[in-house]
Amino acid sequence: MSTSIDSLIHIETDPQLKAIAKKVNLQQRITDEEGLILFEKGSLPFVGALANFIREQLHGNTTYFNRNFHIEPTNVCVFSCKFCSYSRLYANKEEGWELSIDQMVDIVKSYDGKPITEVHIVGGVHPKMNVDYFIELMKKIKAHRPTLHVKAFTAVELDYMFRKAKLTTEEGMKRLHEAGLDSLPGGGAEIFAPEIREHICADKVNADGWLSIHEAAHNLGMHSNATMLYGHIEKYEHRIDHMRRLRELQDKTKGFNTFIPLKFRNMDNDMSYVAESSIIEDMRLYAIARIYLDNFPHLKAYWPMLGRENAQLSLAFGVNDIDGTIDDSTKIYSMAGSEEQTPTMTTEELVTLIKQAKRKPVERDTLYNVVNDYSEVNFETAAVDASLN
């Protein structure tokens, strides 16, 4: 698939949209005002074509996925984000779970012999799971499986554990990194703008704190992801503000790998009165993120939250990564109303999903090194090594 946007530029009658399309064609960065214009006036086919043009320039048809599993150490949390369906207050511990280090290492051991490359560890912010607890966990995981990439802890969890241990961000990050932490997931960013953040997650780390934790990780040579929780009470200007802060930090450090928009799901939380965004708005957001975040190499659709078919659709709107096989029972989305109650997909299912969208399925590791190109693998006819599943 190769795209040109010449005809789009030619037929567009709105002068502002036409000017943006010309900039994209010349690989120039769009401004905040232009980002806002895209949100306000850009039709789905218009922003989709621009985003797809950029996606194919960067990655051609390649669509990445990885083979990972999740560990959620606890759902007990000292914070009370209004959108969260997952956490249980410390006082209501009977509804929560807390995994011991041995239990978590046992989960890692249960993947012995399986060709997964990453463990993703995030959970609630438990007042007693401190930095030493997680240092020990990192060391034990690495002692057992040194090549497993450990992507763990949102900036929210890190901020809390560093403050509790009276460690500077730099010191805390260095200790965890030395113990085995390889990279950071993108959670906890939500919406940075204070007027929204105060309403949806007032008590956890603010925008500057979130960004400075990722900056500290990048300064140690670690990579990280960034998320944005969208489709609730934020306005378009807040989405642009959020992405501007990320784009600025990325200009400085180049440490972000992937931007992951997270669609707000409204089941069983204090914001259940807020309607969920439409699929048109979801796809427009992916496309505009691809256009605006010119310095982010990858855009990921997290299928357990978006649903498989919508994730597949997003591959036409700028997305070049659909996360992993997620061989587990991560609960954060099923508890918020996602269609995916037990989000697992086999490699075969993921590959088929990508091929149906006429894209090229490539398994990656966390840092986007190619592990396996599945373009020529035909699961239906080939005698596929059982280990591929």
Is residue 83 close enough to count as binding ligand V47 by CB under 6 A?
Answer: yes
Residue 196 contacts which entry, ligand V47, ligand SF4, none (Cβ below 5-8 A, type-dependent) = none
Is residue 77 close enough to count as binding ligand SF4 by CB under 6 A?
Answer: yes
* Touching ligand SF4, residues 133-172 (CB under 6 A): 156
Is residue 217 close enough to count as binding ligand V47 by CB under 6 A?
Answer: no
Residues 54 and 31: their CA atoms lie apart, in Å, by 16
- Of 285, 287, 286, 289, nearest to 250 by C-alpha is 289
- Of 384, 356, 378, nearest to 63 by C-alpha is 356
For residue 212, how many other CB atoms are within 10 A of its CB? Answer: 16
Of 46 and 162, nearer to ligand SF4 (C-beta) is 162
Residue 110 contacts which entry, ligand V47, ligand SF4, none (Cβ below 5-8 A, type-dependent) = none
Is residue 125 close enough to count as binding ligand SF4 by CB under 6 A?
Answer: yes
Taking CB under 6 A as the criterion, the residue among 157, 190, 234, 327 binding ligand V47 is: 190
Residue 125 contacts which entry, ligand V47, ligand SF4, none (Cβ below 5-8 A, type-dependent) = ligand SF4
Is residue 193 close enough to count as binding ligand V47 by CB under 6 A?
Answer: no
From 21-29, 98-106, 141-149, 262-270, span contacting ligand V47 (CB under 6 A): 262-270
Is residue 86 close enough to count as binding ligand SF4 by CB under 6 A?
Answer: yes
Q: Which amino acid is at 120?
A: H
Taking CB under 6 A as the criterion, the residue among 62, 87, 224, 366 binding ligand SF4 is: 87
Residue 265 contacts which entry, ligand SF4, ligand V47, none (Cβ below 5-8 A, type-dependent) = ligand V47
From 22-30, 44-52, 179-187, 372-380, span contacting ligand V47 (CB under 6 A): 179-187
Q: From residue 194 to residue 213, what is the string marking binding to ligand SF4 with x (rule CB under 6 A)? A: -------x--x---------
Of 42 and 188, nearer to ligand V47 (C-beta) is 188
Is residue 245 close enough to count as binding ligand V47 by CB under 6 A?
Answer: no
Is residue 269 close enough to count as binding ligand SF4 by CB under 6 A?
Answer: no
Question: Nearest approach, Cβ of 189 to ligand SF4 (angstroms)?
Answer: 11
Tell me which residues touch ligand V47 (CB under 6 A). 83-85, 122, 154, 185-188, 190, 225, 227, 229, 260, 262, 264-265, 269, 302, 305, 323, 332, 336
